Amino acid sequence: MTIGLIPTMGAIHKGHTSLVKEAKSHCDKVVVSIFVNPAQFGENEDLEAYPADEEQDVRALTSVGTDLVFCPSSCEVYPEDFSTVVSVSRLAAGLCGPFRPGHFEGVATVVTKLLLQSLPDIAIFGEKDYQQLLVIRQLVKDLNIPVKVIGAKIIREKDGLAMSTRNQYLSPGDRLIAPELNGILQLVAEWVKAKPGDCESICRLARTKLLEKGFEAVDYITVCDSETLEPLKTYMGNAHVLGAARLGPARLIDNISIRK
Ligand code: AMP
């Protein structure tokens, strides 16, 4: 019997249920964990406000064939004398890293625990959190954790907005602006293919355009190597464009692959 694990923070939406469907095509039994991990939230972030409805989550997960939902408590995950941190240096250093100090260490630590507790055959993570996916691949490789990590495609609303729990924070006005993040990433991909040597100036222009559309701040729009996440000056064929921007109380992230 093969087992697949999908770590989540709950507030289950179609992005999450797509991971369950993907897992079911790879293994016999699917386990979903729900844990709002305090260690990955910064001091001024939305830990207290993060939506939680365990009953509804379990209903949504079982309706798509989840076999087991694991909802540990905070003291079960982090007993009082908990002292270990898993830190992935290179991949976590850029992009969201400087804007969310400690975030990837929190993610890496809890995911390491969840993988070792359940020792699944596979674990599925969404490409929506592309940097997170690469950080997890790296830690699994470095720590010889015997689990195959699978990335699953981003599920989007009809207007292109990547589905996310944090979309709930958007006001109706901001919800109309939000898909512009995906729109600009698509434009960057087109522009970069037309002018491969101009990645930096194209990203500068994209940041300005997002501010003009109504985003309050743009943390980054960057063209990066798809494997190392090194920012690129020149596009050579294996790249992603990644972006993070703030809209009202929400911080939205998105990415797309740039193909020749
Ligand atoms: P979260 O509950 O936000 O921590 O997400 C749990 C998992 O679901 C992570 O692997 C995310 O990358 C993935 N995920 C979240 N939103 C989406 C989406 N729109 N499409 C695909 N995967 C997603």
Rounded to an integer, the average pLDDT of 49-63 is 96
Please give the pLDDT value at position 195.
Answer: 97
- Ligand 1 contact, 34 CB (< 6 A): no
Q: Per-residue pLDDT tens for 2-18?
A: 999 999 999 999 999 99
Q: Per-residue pLDDT tens for 197-213?
A: 999 999 999 999 999 99
Q: Per-residue pLDDT tens for 71-105?
A: 999 999 999 999 999 999 999 999 999 999 999 99
- Testing ligand 1's pocket by substitution, the residue of 36, 40, 50, 129 carrying the most ligand atoms inside 8 A of its CB is 129
Say what the pTM is: 0.98
Share of the chain above pLDDT 70, in %: 100
Considering only CA atoms, which residue is closest to atom 5 of ligand 1? 8
Q: How confident is the model at residue 226 (pLDDT cuts 50, 70, 90)?
A: very high
| Alpha carbon distances (Å) from 234 to 87, 214, 231 | 29, 29, 9
CA distance 238 to 40: 29
Instruction: Please determine, for residue 260, whether its predicted confidence score (pLDDT) is greater than 80.
Output: no
Q: Per-residue pLDDT tens for 22-38?
A: 999 999 999 999 999 99
Q: How confident is the model at residue 236 (pLDDT cuts 50, 70, 90)?
A: very high
CA distance 217 to 151: 29
Token digits of residue 220? 């980054």
- Ligand 1 contact, 155 CB (< 6 A): yes
Q: How confident is the model at residue 259 (pLDDT cuts 50, 70, 90)?
A: confident
Q: Per-residue pLDDT tens for 112-165?
A: 999 999 999 999 999 999 999 999 999 999 999 999 999 999 999 999 999 999
- Ligand 1 contact, 145 CB (< 6 A): no
Instruction: Please determine, for residue 169, whether its predicted confidence score (pLDDT) is greater than 80.
Output: yes
